[in-house]
Amino acid sequence: MKRLKFNKENCIGCQLCAQVCSAMKEGEYVPSKARIAIETYYEDGELKYKDDYCILCGICVKKCPEGAITMDEYIQVDMDKCTGCGVCAEKCPKHVIGIREEKAHICDTCKGDPTCVKTCPQNALTFE
C-alpha cells in the first residue's frame, strides 16, 4: 500500500499542501481545515518541522465503534455510519482526524492520487 512520505530537507514551509487539501476537500483555502499539516518553525535558533499527516496505521479503523472507517488502498469514512463520536480522532497518533459537522474527516490521499503531492513545488511530499 502506498503512503505519504515527507522529506523535511526539501520543505520550504509554504503550506501549499494544506491550502490545496482544504480547497479540494472543504471547498475553501483554509489550512486549518486541511487533512495534512506540515509546518516549519524556529526554536532556539534551529529550524524545526511539525509534520502531521495520515500514516495509514489503521488505528482509526480498529477503534471506530460504529465500523464507519474502512481502509483498503485508502481510508474511507461512511458518513451514514459515522456518528462523530471522536474516538478515531482521540486515538489517532498523528492527530490528523478532524470532527466537523458531527462527522470524521480523514485524509483519503485523494483516493490514491494525492493533490498535495502533485502541488508541492519542492517535492517534499511523495506517495510511494
- What pLDDT digit, counting tens, does each position of 22-75 carry? 999 999 999 889 999 998 888 999 888 889 999 999 999 999 999 999 998 899
Between 3.90.25.10, 3.40.50.720, 3.90.1150.10, 3.30.70.20, what CATH number should domain 4-116 receive?
3.30.70.20
Q: Are 5 and 114 in contact (CB under 8 A)?
A: no
Q: Which of 10, 36, 20, 56 is nearest to 98 (CA)?
A: 36
The model carries a pTM of 0.86
Polymer length in residues for the chain: 128
Q: Is the pLDDT of residue 1 over 90?
A: no
Q: Which of 12, 9, 13, 34 is nearest to 23 (CA)?
A: 34
Grid coordinates of 91: 486515538
Task: Write down the domain spans for the chain.
Answer: 4-116
Longest dimension (CA), the chain: 48
- DSSP letter assigned to residue 25: H
